[in-house]
Amino acid sequence: MNQDPSKNTARRWTAIAGWAYVVSGVGLALASLSPGALRFITTLVLSDPGRPGGAEGLFAGVAGGLTAGFGAAMAFFARATSTATGARAFAVGLATWFVVDTGASLAHGSWQNAVGNVGFFALGLAPVAALGAGRGATTTEGTPETA
């Protein structure tokens, strides 16, 4: 493991952010099994939850953002040769998710979800940006990065 204290801190915060995403996602998936919980979530994220197609459109847009972000992260990670390029790949996926999800949320009148996205974006981007800084990064084999 890299001995640079700032990189170790960034790795720790990246793991914390990752687990926050996992817990949130699993929580939403479980909430989807309860009509009452689903109604509550819909009321939280939509200004006008009774608008025809509002909830379905919002959730389709959010799912599209998550899928696009995950795909972008995978596509760029496939080219990663170091911790820094791997972190940059994740940052591309995170940015893709943020733009698509937030755009869809705003298009469907869910400013609440857009505001929440800012928090998740910041939670993930800060530590990943520190890992992707490039200086002192290591290759996937653990040797110092030269490029």
At 147, the pLDDT band (50, 70, 90 cuts) reads very low
Tell me whether residue 144 is in a domain.
no
Tell me whether residue 145 is in a domain.
no
How many domains does the chain fold into? 1
Mind listing the pLDDT tens digit for each residue in 14-51?
A: 888 878 888 888 888 788 888 898 888 888 888 777 77
Tell me whether residue 52 is in a domain.
yes
Tell me whether residue 37 is in a domain.
yes
At 13, the pLDDT band (50, 70, 90 cuts) reads confident
Residue with tokens 């979800």: 113
Tell me whether residue 137 is in a domain.
no
CA distance 121 to 36: 28
Which residues are bridge partners to 139 per DSSP?
Answer: 82
What residue numbers bound the domain in which 69 lies?
Answer: 5-131
Tell me whether residue 15 is in a domain.
yes
Tell me whether residue 138 is in a domain.
no
At 142, the pLDDT band (50, 70, 90 cuts) reads low
CA distance 2 to 6: 10
- Mean confidence (pLDDT) of the chain: 81
Record the pTM: 0.65
Q: For residue 104, give both structure tokens.
A: 């869809």
